[in-house]
Amino acid sequence: MSGPVVRFAPSPTGLIHIGNARTALLNALWARKNGGTFILRLDDTDRARSEERFAEAIKADLSWLGIAPDRIKRQSARMTRYEETLAKLRELGRVYACYETEEELDRKRKRQLGRGLPPAYDRAALAMSDDDRAKFESEGRKPYWRFKLDHHVAKWNDLVRGEIAIDTASLSDPVVCRADGTWLYSLASVVDDIDMKVTHVVRGEDHITNTAAQLDMFAALGASAPTFAHHNLLTLPGGEGLSKRFGSLSIQSLREAGHEALAVAAVAVLTGTSHAVEPAESLDALAAKIDFGKISHGPARFDPADLDVLTAKTLHAASFAAVADQLGALKVGGGEQFWLAVRGNLVKLAEAAEWWEVVSAPLATKIADADREFCRLAETLLPQEPWSEKVWDEWLAAIKPVANRKGRELFHPLRIALTARENGPELRALLPLIGRARASARLRGETA
C-alpha cells in the first residue's frame, strides 16, 4: 500500500508567513513520517493577483525550511478539468446560474441580518424562469455559477478536532465560477484533490465551513472524500492574527533576520500542541513529534520573541555537520573545534564570523595600563608548542603562583588582551584556536 498524499495549497498572491509555514510543515513532515507524498499546489486561479515572483518566493521559502515537494502543481494549468466538472455538475443539476450583482447581494444580506437571520444566499436564482434569464442576458449580464448544496448535516471525523457536524442549510451555496469565467478555490480544490488522489487535507481551522460544502462536492462528483485535519492557527500573544505583523513574520524576513530554519520550523509546528516548544535536532526529529491528536483546540498563541530564543537554543545544540555549509558560506574556518568553542555564545549564526575574526585575524587589543605588567608576565609563562588540549590549565597553573591575582582580576585582563572583548566563549577553548604566536603578540599589546 502506498503512503498518504497531502498537499500545501497557497495562493501565490503574496509572501508566506510563519502561519502558512505551519500548514506547509504539518503536511510535509507528516507525509515524511508516514512515507507519503507531499504536493505543493499553487492555487493561482486568480490571474490578476497571482504573480510568478510569489510562486518562486514560496518555493524558495519551503526549500529554506528544508521541504522539497515531491510534486508541484498549478491550478492555472488545469482549467479544462474545471470546465469539464462544471459541465458535469450542470448535467446533474448541482450548479445553477446566478445574475445578482455584489450590491444586490449585499442588500439582501443586510435585510437578512436586520431580521436576525443568517446571511445565507436565498437561492432566488433557482426560482428564475427562462424569460428572467433571457432578460438578464439581454442587459449584457453574464451568469456566475453556484453549487447547490444538498441541505443536510455534514459530519466528519476530523483528525484534530474529532467529530464535526455542520448543517449545510445554514451556508450559502458557494460560487464556483465567476461571470468572467475565473474559478473559485472551493470547487477547483475538490477537483484537484480527486485527480491528485489526495488522501488527507491538512489545513487551518478557518476552512472548517468550506469542508462541509466541499464534502458535498466530493459526493456530487461520485468521489470519496479525503480525511480532514484542521489545525489551530498561529496567533500573536494578544490573540491577533499574524497579518498584523506580516512584514516581520514572513519567512523571507525571518530568514533575513538570521533565524535558524530549524528554529522557525520548531516554533511553527510545536506551538499550540501538547509538546513543549523546544529546539529540534533535525526535521526528522520534528516530524516524529507530529500527531494531529496532540494539536490543541484553542488558538496557537506564540510570541515572536520565542523565535530568538529557539534560534539561539538551536545553535547551542547544533552539531558541526548541521551548520558546516552555512559556516562555509560565511567564510568561517576552524572546523569542528572552532564551532564547539563558540556555538554556546551565539544568538545568530552570523556572529560566528565575528568570533572567527577574533581568533584568526589581526586584532588591536586595548590592555588597561594597570594590567600591562601582568599581561607581560603571563606572556612569558605561555607554554611552549606543541600545545595539548590542556594548554589553558597548564598556563593558569604557571601564572597563579607568581601573579598574586585571582578571579576576575586574573581572567578579565587575559580576555581583553586575547580577544578585545568583555565577554565571549571560554578562553580555554579559544586559546588553542588563537595559537601561540598571536596570543603572545596580543599579550604584549601588539596588533596581531
CB of residue 304 to ligand GLU, shortest distance in Å? 22
CA-CA distance, 6 to 200, in Å (whole number)?
5
Single residue of 4, 5, 10, 232 touching ligand GLU by CB under 6 A: 10
Q: Which is nearer to ligand GLU, 50 or 365 (CB)?
A: 50
CB of residue 247 to ligand GLU, shortest distance in Å? 19
Q: Which is nearer to ligand GLU, 128 or 196 (CB)?
A: 196
CB of residue 196 to ligand GLU, shortest distance in Å? 12
Q: Using CB under 6 A as the criterion, what x/- string covers residues 22-51 for binding ligand GLU?
A: ---------------------x--------
CA-CA distance, 133 to 135, in Å (whole number)?
5
What's the one-letter identity of residue 364?
A
CA-CA distance, 205 to 228, in Å (whole number)?
10
Q: Return the range that interacts with ligand GLU (CB under 6 A); candidates 9-17, 90-98, 126-134, 285-293.
A: 9-17
CB of residue 207 to ligand GLU, shortest distance in Å? 6
CA-CA distance, 223 to 215, in Å (whole number)?
10
* Set of cell numbers at residue 221: 462528483
Compute the CA torsion angle 426, 422, 350, 308 (nearest 10 deg). 90
Binding of ligand GLU at residue 272 (CB under 6 A)? no
Q: Report the candidate in 350, 340, 345, 285 with the shortest Cα–Cα distance to residue 318.
A: 340
Q: Using CB under 6 A as the criterion, what x/- string covers residues 51-90 for binding ligand GLU?
A: ----------------------------------------
CA-CA distance, 144 to 164, in Å (whole number)?
30
Single residue of 9, 57, 177, 263 touching ligand GLU by CB under 6 A: 9
Q: Which is nearer to ligand GLU, 9 or 448 (CB)?
A: 9
* Set of cell numbers at residue 354: 565575528
Binding of ligand GLU at residue 207 (CB under 6 A)? yes
CB of residue 241 to ligand GLU, shortest distance in Å? 13
Binding of ligand GLU at residue 185 (CB under 6 A)? yes
Contact 314, 264 (CB under 8 A): no
CB of residue 299 to ligand GLU, shortest distance in Å? 17
Q: 407 in the Ramachandran plot: left (φ > 0), alpha (ψ -120 to 50) or beta?
A: left
Compute the CA torsion angle 423, 429, 430, 431 (nearest 10 deg). 120
What residues pair up with 72 in beta bridges, in sequence order?
40
What's the one-letter identity of residue 384?
Q
CA-CA distance, 252 to 60, in Å (whole number)?
9
* Angle separating helix axes 427-434 and 408-419, nearest 10 degrees: 30
Q: Return the range that interacts with ligand GLU (CB under 6 A); candidates 8-16, 306-314, 356-364, 381-389.
A: 8-16
- The owner of cell 521541504 is 67
- The owner of cell 467529530 is 163
Q: How far is CA 152 from the centre of its chain?
A: 37
Binding of ligand GLU at residue 419 (CB under 6 A)? no
Binding-site residue total for ligand GLU (CB under 6 A)? 8
* Set of cell numbers at residue 381: 609563562
Q: Return the range that interacts with ligand GLU (CB under 6 A); candidates 6-14, 45-53, 62-70, 97-105.
A: 6-14
Single residue of 168, 189, 232, 419 touching ligand GLU by CB under 6 A: 189
How many beta carbons lie within 10 A of that of residue 276, not counting itself? 6
CB of residue 43 to ligand GLU, shortest distance in Å? 4
CB of residue 95 to ligand GLU, shortest distance in Å? 20
Binding of ligand GLU at residue 232 (CB under 6 A)? no
Q: Which is nearer to ligand GLU, 37 or 311 (CB)?
A: 37
Can you give the binding site for ligand GLU, defined by CB under 6 A? 9-11, 43, 185, 189, 203, 207
